[in-house]
């Protein structure tokens, strides 16, 4: 029995979206080339076109015919995808507790000084917005 579909992109779909968010529209061969560079291993043309067609049917990407090829572009904005995934993690893993999520991140991930400074700035900005 097939598992139910997810509203979020799979790991491979997310990798394809990252390629397309960086640069689009792209033909299949270019998407494949960039995925191969990231993965460090060869991927078959048919596997990549199959994934892109599945993503097209799911509404994750759009395609436009150009000559004998299709050019693919993301239909989903990166912020929409990341927000949806974070809301899902927040709900399922942290029972809706934003502070538990942030504390877990701070305790489990090695952050450099620049990242910590950026987090401090965001917290300060959010605190100021709350006071308004």
% residues pLDDT > 90 (the chain) = 80
% residues pLDDT > 70 (the chain) = 95
Q: In what order do the strands lie in the sheet with 69-74?
A: 26-27, 69-74, 61-66
What's the whole-model pTM score?
0.81
Please write the tens of the pLDDT for every residue from 100-110.
Answer: 998 998 899 99
Given this model, what pLDDT does residue 39 score?
A: 87
- In this predicted structure, the answer to whether residue 2 has a pLDDT above a threshold of 90 is no
């Amino acid at each position: 029995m097939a598992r139910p579909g997810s509203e979020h992109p799979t790991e491979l779909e997310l990798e394809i979206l990252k390629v397309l968010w960086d640069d689009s529209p792209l033909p299949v061969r270019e998407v494949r080339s960039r995925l191969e560079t990231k993965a460090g291993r060869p991927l078959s043309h048919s596997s990549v076109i199959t994934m892109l067609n599945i993503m097209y049917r799911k509404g994750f990407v759009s395609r436009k015919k150009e000559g004998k090829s299709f050019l693919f572009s993301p239909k989903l904005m990166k912020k929409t995808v990341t927000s949806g995934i974070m809301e899902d993690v927040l709900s399922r893993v942290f029972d809706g507790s934003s502070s538990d999520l942030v504390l877990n991140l701070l305790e489990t991930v090695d952050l450099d000084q620049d990242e910590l400074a950026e987090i401090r700035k965001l917290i300060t900005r959010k605190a100021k917005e709350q006071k308004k």
